[in-house]
Amino acid sequence: MSAAKTYPASEVTRDSITKNIALVRDEIASTTSKVNEEQVAILARHLVRGGRVFVAGAGRSGLVLRMAAMRLMHFGLNVHVAGDTTTPAIADGDLLLVASGSGTTSGVVKSAQTAKKAGARIAAFTTDPNSPLAGLADALVIIPAAQKTDHGSHISRQYAGSLFEQVLFVVTEAVFQSLWDHTDVEAEELWTRHANLE
């Protein structure tokens, strides 16, 4: 494996940053506009249907779901992150929220299979409606972004699964905002649930 090529700092210019901010912004806007809002609304309704919410994802998608878990906790839901040492067993009536661009990430698919066997519902984000993860989902949101191994994609000029993860963040934020919009809870009340052991 060869060492990473180094470049003089002078090659990174304001113009290149401006160009790439526009690239990322425009790709996010274009892809988000193609997400099916009814699919997202169905997923949001599953979140508040009762039972606990568990989130599971790998890599950067997993990090986005951890951020979503924090907002859902602020909203007042009983939320757990798969893999944390204090996470209990998922059970009948619970919901597992998962994300995998390819829909084939082994740990994520295994979590969904385990949750399904326990009687839990599955809400999934993926790019592939024909993937194993999509087949397990009770609520499915397709994000029409390139998969991380699709390096020659015309969908995105960004590296790996960046566009999927960016749009996943935007959509999960919109879910939280929509849930909150339908309450009369003030921001100050949500803030009382924010971590105070930082």
Cite the active site residues. 165
What is the CA 148 to chain-centroid distance, rounded? 15
> By the 8 A CB rule, do 161 and 147 touch?
yes
Q: Is the CA virtual torsion 21, 103, 126, 175 positive or negative?
A: negative
Cα angle 82-58-70, degrees, rounded to a multiple of 5: 55
State the Cα–Cα distance between residues 14 and 117, nearest whole angstrom: 53
